[in-house]
Structure formats: C-alpha cells, structure tokens
Structure 1
Amino acid sequence: MLDKHFLYVCTVLSFGLATAGIFDASPNTRPKEQLLHHFLLKENSYNKEIMPAGSTINGTADSKLTVKLGMRLSQLLDVSEKFQILTSNLWLRHEWVDNRLRWDPDEYGGIQMTFIPSEELWRPDIVVYNNADGEFIVTLLTKAKVYFTGLIVWEPPAIYKTYCPINVEYFPFDQQECFMKFSSWTYDGRQIDLQHVSGPGVLENDQMVIPNGVDLCDYYQNVEWDIINVTARRKEKFYPCCPEPYPDITFNITIRRRTLFYTINLILPCVAISCLTVLVFCLPSESGEKIVLSISILIALTVFFLLLSDINPPTSIVIPLLGKYLMFTMIVVTLSIFLTVTTLNVHFRSPATHKMGPWIKWLFIDTIPKIICMSRPAKPNNEYNRMEMSDRNQSPHFLRQFPDVGSNNVQFGNIRHRSKYISTDRYPPEIQASLKAVGFIAGHLHNHDAEISEDRDWNYVAMVMDRIFLIFFGTACVCGTLSIFLLQPSLYDSRVALTRFNVNCTK
C-alpha cells in the first residue's frame, strides 16, 4: 500500500518538475517585456496627458511634434445619394516619436518593438472634420507598436460616415468627388506638424499634393462604385478665431458609378416608352385606342418620376440626366396627346359639319403626300362599277337605244344636274314618271358619292397628318435620346478602376 502511495507521489512530482522545466526552457522574453513595460510606463513616470516634445533642432528640444497620417481603405460600404453620406471602412495610420519611450534593446533581451495599449499612451487627437454621424474620433482603441527609437505606429480600424457632396447632374452616368478631412482638434501648427506618411508630395498653389495618397492594398471592390483616383492634400488653414495655422490632410476619393443596373432597370424602359410614343401615330384612328395608349404612356412616365425622386437627393441646383430625359419624353407624350386629338377630330369630320377648303386639298392631298412618298389608298371596286355605270348611262350611245326619248334636243346624260329643267309634256305619262324617278335616283347617288368622297378626303388628310407626326416625333426621339445621353462624361472617361491588384503595394 505504501508502495502505491509512493509511486503516486513520485508521479505527481515528476509531472510538476517536467512542467516547471518546460516553462524554464521557454525564452525569457516575456519577463523582459514586462520589465520593459514597467520601465517605460512606471519608472520613467510616463504621463499620457502631456504631449511629447518634438525632435531636437539646432539644440532646441521644444520644437513642434511631427505626426504622420496615412489611410488604408478597406471597403466603401455605402454611398447615400439622398443623404449625401459616404460610409467607409478604413485603417487610419498614425506615426509619431515619443522620446520618453526609448530604450536600449541589449538591456531587455534584444527587444526592438513591443505592443502597448493605446489608452495608456499619449495620442494625437486627430478627428475627421466632415463627419456626418457624431463619431469624430476612433472608437476602437487597439494596441500600438512602440519601437526602441521612440517611434509609435498606431493603426486602428474605423468606420466613418462622412459628408460627400453628390452631384446628380449626370445620374446615372455620374462620378463623385468625396473627401475626408483630418486634423488635430486641439493642437495648432506650432505644436503639431501634420504630414502624410508617404512624404511631402508636390506643391500646387498653397497645398502639397500626394498622388496615390490612399493605400488600396487591402481594398475590396464595391458592387456599385469604382475608385478611379485617390489623392491626399496637405494644407494649412487659418481660422477667424485664432492667428495660428491649423494643418490638415484631406484624402480625396474619386468614384465612378457602375451603370449596368441603371441601364437595365431605368434607361432601357425609358427608351422603350419613348418608342411607344412614336407608335401612337401608327395606330389607325378607327381603332379608338390612340388616346388610351398615350395616357398609359404618360402614367408610366409618372411612375418613373416617383422612382427617380426616391433615389436622388432633394436638390434644386441641377436636374439629373435621367430626369432630363424623362421630362423630354413627358413633353413629347403630352404634345402627342394634343396632336392625336387634332388628328381624330380631322378623321371624323364629314360634309355635314365641315367643308374642306381648297388650300387643305392642295396642301394635304396634292403636295405633302408627294414629299413624304405617301400614296392614297385605292377606292373600292363596287364604287368604281357604280361610277362606270353612271357614266355609261350618261353617254349618248345609251340614249340611242330609246329613239323616242333621245330624239329631243335635251341630253339625257345631264339629267342628274338638269332634270328639273327638262320639258316632258310631250311624253306619255309613263315616260314622265320614269324620268322623274331616274332624276331622283341620279341626284341621290351623286350626293351620296360626293359625301363619301369628301369623307375619304378627310380620312386621307388625317392619315397624312399621322405620317407627318410619325416622322417628326421619331426624329425628335432619336435626336433627343442621343443628344441627352451623349452628354455623359463617363462615356469619354477611359481611366481604369483602381483595385488592390493594379496598385503598387508597400506592406
């Protein structure tokens, strides 16, 4: 029994010694790092509320502190045209030197860099000036890299909602110029020299311009917007409150909209509706559906206007390109309704209500159809037969078959026009009654043929008007569509979208 207890105790002791041996065999960097942290933050009496002194220049250690700022863009989360807000996910890189955090690596096991929680360090209060949601500063306080030379690199992630002026003049073929302005809220230019991490850049007017001023090595593309240019600008601004300059760095992001979605869902339906406006004048007036089609197109355009008002910001500065096209189409449709009503009025005219003037016949029957290469429809065969029979009955050869009747001096062929002037006293009563009946029938046929002919003239005038309006509105729709959509600047912009695959990345 004692042997079992002895073996159990030996096993426990062996396991403890082995465990202690493992920990003893590990590198002693952790205790050295703890000593380093204690030395930097405790023994040196480090006070995070006091700004570190700048670099020594000309023997003076009280110069301004240089803070370098850089931005690594991760993703464009949203671009709200209606509220003019850009939501972006980025990493904001801060670099500065704090001489109070220097150490000799040989005294601490060769440690040249350590991580220190950023809330234990002094940090420059860099804020975004064009903030749009109330969060001006970085809210996630990550650890900072501290090097033995006193260099501190702090790169916290952040999601910013910033104001971005949206210009909807060329919507949906637009590009926007968004910016993010960063500066110290407390310290002026005599205390902090704010610089870009990539260097001074190129001087333009009173600004230092840094091409490719935004790091896109970890950028994930947006489904609606392409980034086509990124720059950074450093300038010093004087505010009315203070005589000191306040340096700031503005990151400019030029984005261009991807138009496939809007082309399929907005542009093509609008063009189709515009084409339907032209087809109104191809519809025969007898169908009675011309006004119905025009009103339906007008209602469809109204729905598109409501959809466009939900997408665009409520601005009265410019009219969007798509809005111009919808307005142009609505004017065309409205005008087509007025002209369709006029055409229908002409089509349903009759000799009982209107008399066709000679200038109308000359213009719409004799002249314009020749210009627009339009031929008049042929008359029905039954009308030709009736007119031929009427003409044959009026000929003298037909009268020779009745010598008793045709021997007088009055031509029977003119009975339609002059039957009331023919003297029939010398004819038998049967012949007189027959002559009166023939005269009545001939007069009725003549009047009926004249009415039908004038009705057809009005119908033909309406057809000519429809053809004129068809040519006019077809030309107007094609020219209007091309002139409006050829104004888009993206059509002539050949710049390639920037991605993490076609930029120079310096990790």
Structure 2
Amino acid sequence: MEEGCEGAGEGEGWRAARGSQCRAAPGRASLTRALRNHGRACELMGALVWWLAGCCLVHAVAAGNPDAKRLYDDLLSNYNKLVRPVVNTTDVLRVCIKLKLSQLIDVNLKNQIMTTNLWVEQSWYDYKLRWEPREYGGVHMLHVPSDHIWRPDIVLYNNADGNFEVTLATKATIYHQGLVEWKPPAIYKSSCEIDVEYFPFDEQTCVLKFGSWTYDGFKVDLRHMDEQAGSNVVSVGVDLSEFYMSVEWDILEVPAVRNEKFYTCCDEPYLDITFNITMRRKTLFYTVNIIIPCMGISFLTVLTFYLPSDSGEKVNNKCLFKFIGGLFFINKI
C-alpha cells in the first residue's frame, strides 16, 4: 500500500508539472506569432522603402533632362517615317555605308556559304531632324529607336539564309545638323563561290553585295563612307579594327567597289556596294592532321613490298596499314 501511495504521489506530481507546461505553451505560441508578424512587417517595410527609392529614381531620371524629352517630342510627334526625307521629290538622298567585320564565323565548303558577324554602319542627312542646340538646353545629339525614323532599306543581295535585312533594330544617333548614324550588328550567311582545287593551300574571295531593295540611283545615292571623289573603289572597304582572328583563315585584303547596274525593266540605275573579302587558309592544321599522316601511311605501305615474299609479316603489315588508313579517313569524314 505504501508503494502504491508513493506511485500515486509521483503520478500526481507529474500531472501537475505537465499541466504547468501545457499552461505555458500558449505563451510561447503567442511569442512565435509576434515574432512572425514582426518579420512580415520588416519585409513589408523593406519593400516599401525599395519602391519609394525606385519611384524617386525614375522621377529623377525623367526630370533630369527635360530638354531631351521636349526635343524628342518636337522632332517625332508629327514625323512620317514612310516618306523619304528630302525637300523636293526630285532630290537625291545620299546614303553612306561601311562594314566593320567582327568575326569570320564559318566558311562552309560543301554548301558554299560564308557566315560573318558584321556591323553595318550607315549614315544620311534628314532635314526633318534638325534643331538649334541653344533652344534645347545645349543638347547636340539624341539617341532614338531606329524604327521611329526613316531608314534606307539596305539589304544583302547574295544572302543565303533568308534574312536579307538587319534583324536587330538598335537605336540611331541623331545630331543637330540632321546627320543620322545607325550601326546595327548582324550575322549574315552569304553565298560564296569556293574553288578547292588547291586545298588546303588555297585562297578564296567571297563578296558581300549591299544595296537598296526599293530605291533606284535617282532616289538614293549609295556611297562608301571612305570613298574619294572621282573613284568608285576603296582599297580598305571593311574595318578590321574589331576583328577576332580566325583559327582557319587569314584575311588578305578587303576592297570595296561601287557599281551601277541597269536592268531591262527600268531606265533608272540601281546602285550597290560590293565588298570583296580575300582570305587564305591556314595550312598548319591540315599539314599536321592530314598531309603528314597520309604520307606516313603511304611510306610504310611501300616499305612492305621490300619484305620477303615468304614472310608472314608482309601480309599482316599490309592489312594493318590498310586498316589504319581506313580508320584515319573515316575519322576525318
């Protein structure tokens, strides 16, 4: 009985302690909820601070150069980008063009296609985009989306991909005299006649023929930016200052020629600028990986004929060299 009373006493004490813990649990839950609510409040406060900072920044940018915004509105509010920017319809608009070769990506011998990464630099004067800088807080130039103004439809005639025009319409730079400069990047795939008679010691010349698809020579006078008066040939027609060296080709010369062509359908001339890219193949790779192995296999095959006819190694060596040669050519294919 004493043992039972002692056990009963221990049970009562345990239930009392358990009850005190249960009574303390709501206090901890309240504290947890309070901390959670405090964290949410801090997050909301942080988001509000960032939102206010962003609004202030946008307001500062918008209000930082009101003259440029006013100039943009004045120039393009009633601007018609579909009309050629000339005072009289009979006036000829001169458009200057130049290429900057960034990378010679690929020269496909089988399909006869050259892939290049180019900057197509173009410039012309638009009389509707002139202004007096002192009337607009000294703003001398303005960057505008190129699809908001008139642009010459300069395309690559010998395109082999289907995208004749520039696909990325970057912003154009307008100067207060009315000069417009547009330098969009583009990756072109152009057809190229490739002669592999002297492969791998060959030189290839691929052309890039640019011209207006719509306007004839009486509407748009297409010129090279570096063209001298009285000459239609530019010895260095492609800018190579940003060119990444190719591992397979060396660029030898890049002249440009201005051509006038008359078609049977029309009396007006159509102008184009043809850029000739002459390149020479780097032969070290092919010499080490093709020519030397072929010469080695051929030399060893000839040596087998000097072995005695009754030698068993003669047939084995011939079979081995033929097998090695077959594996080599299959690997190259």
| Shorter-chain TM band | 0.7 to 0.9
Cα gap change, 1:201/1:81 in structure 2, threshold over 3 Å: closer, same or farther? farther
Contact 1:70 1:94 in 2 (8 A): yes
User: Aligned residue for 1:246?
Assistant: 270
Q: Which residue of 2 aligns with 1:63?
A: 91
How big is the alpha-carbon RMSD for the aligned residues of Structure 1 and Structure 2?
2.5
Work out whether residues 115 and 145 of structure 1, in 8 Å CA contact, stay in contact via their aligned partners in 2: yes
Give the alignment of 1:19-418 within 5 angstroms: 30-42=65-77, 45-53=78-86, 62-200=90-228, 203=231, 208-294=232-318, 296-298=320-322, 300-301=324-325, 310=333
Give a deviation string over 1:54-85, Cα, whole Å, max 9, x none: 7xxxxx77321000000111111111112111
Q: Tell me if structure 2 keeps the 8 A contact 1:73–1:219.
A: yes
Moved over 6 A (4+): 26-29
Matched residue SS, 1:94: strand
Aligned counterpart, 1:375: none
Q: What is the deviation of 1:306?
A: 5.4
* 1:213 aligned partner, one-letter code: G
Deviation for aligned residue 1:211: 0.8
Contact kept? 2:227, 2:233, Cα under 8 Å: no
**d(CA) in 2 for partners of 1:200, 1:251:** 16
CA distance in 2: counterparts of 1:178 and 1:274, whole angstroms: 35
By how many angstroms is 1:236 displaced? 0.6
Q: State how far apart, in whole Å, the 1-side matches of 2:162 and 2:245 are.
A: 27
Partners of 1:126 and 1:61 in 2: CA distance: 20
Name which one, 1 or 2, has greater alpha-carbon Rg. 1
Q: Which amino acid aligns with 2:303?
A: L
Between the aligned partners of 1:36 and 1:111, the Cα distance in structure 2 is: 9
Could you list the per-position Cα deviations for residues 127-180 of structure 1 after superposition, in whole angstroms to 9, with x for gaps in the alignment?
001111111000111110001111100001111111122111111122211111
Measure, in 2, the Cα distance between the counterparts of 1:131 and 1:61.
31
- What SS is found at the alignment partner of 2:74? helix
Query: 1:278 & 1:155 partners in 2: Cα distance?
Result: 60
Q: Deviations over 1:215-259 (max 9, x none)?
A: 111111111111111111111112232221110001111111112
Instruction: Give me the whole-angstrom Cα distance separating, in 1, the residues matched to 2:331 and 2:263.
Output: 43
Q: Secondary structure at the match of 2:310?
A: helix
For residues 48 and 176 of structure 1, the distance between their equivalents in structure 2, rounded to whole angstroms, comes to 41
> Which of the pair is proportionally richer in strand?
2
1:326-383 per-position Cα deviation (integer Å, ceiling 9, x unaligned): xxxxxxxxxxxxxxxxxxxxxxxxxxxxxxxxxxxxxxxxxxxxxxxxxxxxxxxxxx
Residue 285 of structure 1 aligns to a residue whose secondary structure is coil
For 2:156 and 2:184, the matched residues in 1 are separated by 14
What amino acid is the match of 1:188? Answer: D
Q: Is the 8 A contact 1:105 1:148 kept in 2?
A: yes
Q: How much has 1:209 moved relative to structure 2?
A: 1.4
> Which amino acid counterpart does residue 31 of structure 1 have in structure 2?
P
Which string of whole-angstrom CA distances, capped at 9 and with x for unpartnered residues, describes residues 282-340 of structure 1?
211220443454455455555566566x4xxxxxxxxxxxxxxxxxxxxxxxxxxxxxx
Equivalence for 1:420: none
Kept in 1, the 8 Å contact 2:103–2:117? The answer is yes
Aligned length: 278
The secondary structure found in structure 1 opposite 2:254 is strand
Check conservation: 2:255, 2:276, Cα contact below 8 A: yes
Question: Which residue number in structure 2 is paired with residue 6 of structure 1?
Answer: none
Name the CA shift for 1:300/1:170 in 2 (closer, same or farther; >3 Å): farther
Q: Distance in 2 between matches of 1:85 and 1:202?
A: 34
Report which stretch shifted further, 120-129 or 227-236: 227-236
Q: Summarize the Cα distance change of 1:222–1:201 in structure 2 as closer, same or farther, 3 Å threshold.
A: farther
Consecutive unaligned residues in structure 1, runs of 5 or more: 1-15, 55-59, 311-507
For the residues of structure 2 that align with 1:32 and 1:131, how far apart are their CA atoms?
A: 43
User: CA separation of 1:234/1:306 partners in 2, compared to 1, >3 Å: closer, same or farther?
Assistant: farther
Paired residues for 1:383-462 under 5 Å: none
The answer (yes or no) to whether the contact 1:189–1:246 under 8 Å persists in 2 is: yes
Relative distance call for 1:306 and 1:268 in structure 2 (3 A) is same
> 2:90, 2:269 → 1: CA distance?
18
- Alpha-carbon shift at residue 202 of structure 1 (Å): 7.1
Distance in 1 between residues matched to 2:203 and 2:64, nearest whole Å: 53
The residue type equivalent to 2:194 in the other structure is I
1:190-223 Cα shifts (integer Å, max 9, x gaps): 11100001123774xxxx2101110111111111
Supply the AA of the counterpart residue of 1:90. L
1:201 and 1:209 in contact (8 A); partners too: no
